[in-house]
Amino acid sequence: MDLILLYSIPFLSFSFAVCAWILQILKPRKPCKLPPGPKPYPVIGNILELGEKPHQSLAKLSQVYGPLIHLKLGSLTTVVVSSPGIAEIFLQKHDQVFSGRNHSGAAHALDHHKLSMAWLPAENQWRKLRKICKEQMFSAPSLDSSQGLRRDRLQKLCEYVHGCCVDGKAVDIGRASFTTSLNLMSATLFSEEFAAFDSGSCEELREVVCGIMEYLGKPNLADYFPVLRSLDPQGILRKNTVYFRRCFHIFEEIIGKRLEMRAGTRLKNDMLDSLLDINQRNDSELSILDIKHLLLDLFVAGTDTTSSTVEWAMSELLRHPHKMLLVKNELREVIGKNHEQVTESDISRLSYLRAVVKETFRLHPAGPLLVPHKSAGEDTEINGYTIPRNAQILINAWAIGRDSSTWLDPESFIPERFLETETDFKGQHFELVPFGAGRRICPGLPLANRMVHMMVATLIHNFDWKLDGGLNPQQLDMNESFGLTLKKTIPLMAVPMELHTF
């Protein structure tokens, strides 16, 4: 009898599970009206609709189906937002509901999705990391105290460009901006300089950072069909893990040396020291592993996005020489003509430069689809449509910046549009959301704001520029390559010249 009972338990458990599943299917459901969208194909859904440049493909779909559309990407339910009004509903009115993260398979490298501020759910650990960043790194006093380090790195950018000027050599603006961003970030985080211009060490770090950003943004079959995640059919997780390990190796060496210095009571009072102070007060609050994953978030996001934005800004200004002249004249008027160095405190007085940066963010947001959100609560009704629980939410910042119902002549580079308006990119104006908005807004925005303005101002204030190879400004290629960061397909090559004074 006992033996019969023993063998009956699994059978009965299975039977109850099947019955419960059937009852769930037969249970009457409230009618669900999903947002409109193209009809999905069997199994693959709308994956083919994405194309090589999903931000552009989704923008075209929104012109057909409206600013709120529904797609089926394999088994992944996705909702795409392409207008400022709808974005405000998701990112402000229902901010808490849509504050979850739909993390890609690439983010699973070294369990980054479990420890990263970018991918954690908006709960206790996430709030703790955000607070640390806000208070220890991105507060105005913290940034002011480290601006001398950034000023030194900008001076080295000037010295490098001057050398190219003397030699008549073209500057790869993206690479020069990346090296400067890398050193600005490493100075702020570690009080160290990571790379020299045209050095092998810079190329190696650029490969690591760009590789991580590429794989985090790369369409991944394992994301569309989670059953394939363990197989990693495209090798994305495997390749990203290699990059993560290389980055962590760098951090481990720096942290090890810093701990030795601290044992001798020598402090540098930078971001790393602040993090180690917290760790040594209470390891459970912030472990060394937490610190490495946080540094990865800050380091990778703060270099690639900033350098890409600077390259786009310089590309637009070289395409529009009269706009370049307006920036240059403003700098001469505010800063002076005798190569005085621009300072971070000058930014507030440079209204046209700020307008140029805003216009660059509008046309070329660093993250065209932001980092994917997720509907973390129950089904939610938005504008008469049901947004299903666990749906991936994509905010198409690229499409919002080119919305013809919001922007006059949206495809044109017109910085003047921002001179007579208070519209900004700091999360309060949903027609311009390159950093996101709501509780998931990019925590590094205050530093990125300073770095982008300072690099563009430094390049323009100290040099005149012409396109390499005698290109006419209108011949400059402005094609985009999609990824987590929006890059120029063909790098910007420009020749610096001695500044013409008059």
Does position 343 have pLDDT exceeding 70, yes or no?
yes
Q: Is 502 domain-assigned?
A: no
The 8-class DSSP code of residue 394 comes to: E
Q: If you average pLDDT over residues 158-186, what whole number do you get?
A: 92
Does position 163 have pLDDT exceeding 70, yes or no?
yes
Q: If you average pLDDT over residues 205-218, what whole number do you get?
A: 84
Q: Is the CB of residue 499 less than 8 Å from the CB of residue 463?
A: yes
We report the CATH number of the domain holding residue 392 as: 1.10.630.10
% of the chain exceeding 90 in pLDDT: 64
Q: Is 197 helix (H, G, I), strand (E, B) or coil?
A: coil
Q: Is 449 domain-assigned?
A: yes
Query: 6-38: per-residue pLDDT in tens?
Result: 333 333 333 433 343 344 444 444 567 999 999
Q: Find the domain containing 180 and state its range.
A: 2-497
What pLDDT, on the 0 to 100 scale, is given for residue 2? Answer: 35
Reported confidence tier of residue 204, pLDDT bands at 50, 70, 90? confident
What pLDDT, on the 0 to 100 scale, is given for residue 302? Answer: 84
Tally the domains of the chain: 1
Q: Is the CB of residue 386 less than 8 Å from the CB of residue 34?
A: yes
Q: Is 138 domain-assigned?
A: yes
Query: 412-439: per-residue pLDDT in tens?
Result: 999 999 998 999 999 999 999 999 999 9
Query: 283-323: per-residue pLDDT in tens?
Result: 888 999 999 999 999 888 888 899 999 999 999 999 999 99
Q: Is 462 domain-assigned?
A: yes
The 8-class DSSP code of residue 95 comes to: T
Q: If you average pLDDT over residues 228-238, what whole number do you get?
A: 92
Q: Directed axis angle between helix 173-190 and helix 200-217, to 10°? A: 90
Closest residue by Cα to residue 362 from 400, 305, 405: 400
For residue 71, give every residue at least 6 positions away whose Cβ sits within 8 Å of its Cβ, in sequence order, or none. Answer: 37, 38, 40, 45, 46, 49, 61, 78, 79, 80
Q: Is 346 domain-assigned?
A: yes
Beta strands in 143-190 (DSSP E): 171-172
